[in-house]
Amino acid sequence: MKVLYIYYSFSSKGSSVQSKILNQIDFLNKIGVICNGIFFSSQIEKTTQLSDNVNLVPFEKTSRKFFPNLRNRNNLDAALSDYLKINADKYDVLYLRYPLASKGLLKIAKKYGNKIIIEHQSKEIPEIQSLIRNEKFRFKLGYFLYLYEHSFLRVFREKYIGKKILKYVLGGIAVTSEIAEYEMARAKGYRCEVVGNGINFEDFKQNPSAEFDGKNVNLFVLIGANTSSPTHGVDRLIESLKNNNSRLFFNLSVFSKNKYEDAKGNNFSIKYEGYFSREQLDEKLKEMHFAIGGLASFRKEILYGSALKIREYFARGFPVIMASLDEDIENKDEAKQYVVIVSNSNELIDFAIIENKIIDILNVNNRSKLIREIGEQIFSFEVKMKQLAEKMQQMKKIKYGN
């Protein structure tokens, strides 16, 4: 099977998503799938090689001030269309990380839909609406133009163009069953399978199991280099710590480019650490006990997640406190024992309720090694890419019988 992985975004600085996709392509090739990838960049004039299996394809970035994202999207669709005219016949599957709906993408789906499989990472319309809800209101023309381009137009496109795109393509891969059900409800007859996110465990060092004195618990939260999403729920965590009524003392370290205020109380402390590279974090995390996962996915109307950060925490050997459920963890009792689930709502976290499980986990000998070993069996790219390849083969076989 020959697969072309299509990703509309590219950053010369890199990102966790970009790294994940490059790893996916590498591991698909390792298991025998011939997989190439294309990313798009406005900073080049001709197609260039990014890595052995990935090309950078140029597109023209608009210089116009009004609706720049809309114009850039039209240019991206045109660049993809031109690339597929020459290259589509070389591949059995065109695997597209969904870039939201557009007229240009609909035309591509009509022409190449019998080869296209779409990857869904979120419930698109609730996600768009949540981003706008968290945008600060400004009584300026620029704000209303932004609102139109990023909210009203995108929601309209998803409602009326997005479902048409889904009807034309071969099928979809969602990272949770909740997202898969949402996509299948959008378009009658659309087939959407589930494959959770994976990571390359070799990218992360196993953290030592920090000693626990029975009282002090060192928590930490990692926020990506480029963004701070409202679903992280750091605001909820901080307010909950300020109202901590458990017998444990919690020390929270926040690793983020976004500034947070230090604070201290009778049974909590909060320290803003700043942002560190992966290698620098190895040293910083040595004294940590628990990682914090997403605590506010309800703000995007999502109950289940497949977060890369949770997989990173398992790779590093950390137990996790989180609110969103993760099917890869839920289906494995050996993984669930190292996860503390709190309510997925706006209410404060009651640490007194979860303190016993926290203590039990921290009293497990050699817990970091055990957590990493469990995670590798569930989240590694070797496991996930085999699942993905099988799902793609099944979709082709069901639709065409070969």
From CA 338, how far away is CA 314, in angstroms rounded?
9
Would you state the pLDDT for residue 228? Answer: 56
Domain shared by 192 and 214, yes or no: no
Q: Are residues 113 and 210 in the same domain?
A: no
* Domain shared by 347 and 307, yes or no: yes
Does residue 82 sit in the same domain as residue 121?
Answer: yes
Contact call for residues 352 and 246 (beta carbons, < 8 A):
yes
Structure tokens at 183: 């996509």
**In this structure, what token pair is assigned to residue 230?**
């409202």
Q: Are residues 11 and 153 in the same domain?
A: yes
39 and 161 belong to one structural domain: yes
pLDDT means per 10 residues, the chain with 402 residues, are: 90 74 93 95 88 91 74 91 96 93 95 96 80 66 63 83 95 94 93 94 93 96 69 90 95 89 92 86 93 89 86 96 91 93 94 96 96 96 95 82 55
Are the CB atoms for 274 and 220 separated by under 8 Å?
A: no
Secondary structure (3-state) at 19: helix
Distance between CA atoms of 150 and 68, rounded to whole angstroms? 11
Give residue 304's pLDDT.
87
Total domains in the chain come to 2
Instruction: Sort residue 53 into left (φ over 0), alpha (ψ -120 to 50) or beta.
Output: alpha
Residue 293 sits in a domain whose CATH number is 3.40.50.2000
Question: Could you tell me if 231 and 220 lie in one domain?
Answer: yes
Distance, CA of 106 to CA of 112 (rounded, Å)? 10
Task: Tell me the β-bridge partners of 57.
Answer: 40
Q: What is the predicted pLDDT for the residue at 146? A: 64
- The predicted structure's pLDDT at residue 57: 92
Residue span of the structural domain in which 345 resides: 202-379
Which residues are CB-contacts of 148 (< 8 A; sequence separation ≥ 6)? none
Look-up of token digits 């381009």: 149
In 3D, which of 238, 245, 248, 255 has the Cα closest to residue 212? 248
Residue 374's CB is within 10 A of a number of other CB atoms, namely 19
Task: Quote the pLDDT of residue 15.
Answer: 74
243 shares a domain with 167:
no
Q: Is residue 365 located within the same domain as residue 387?
A: no
Other CB atoms within 10 A of residue 139 CB? 6
Same domain, 187 and 221: no
Q: What are the CB-based long-range contacts (under 8 Å, 24+) for 96-101?
A: 96/6, 97/5, 97/6, 97/7, 97/8, 97/21, 97/121, 98/124, 99/8, 99/9, 99/73, 100/124, 100/128, 100/154, 100/157, 100/158, 100/162, 101/157, 101/158, 101/161, 101/162, 101/165
d(CA 58, CA 44): 6
Do residues 274 and 353 both lie within one domain? yes
- Quote the CA–CA distance of 318 and 292 in Å, as a whole number: 10
**351 plus 396 within the same structural domain:** no
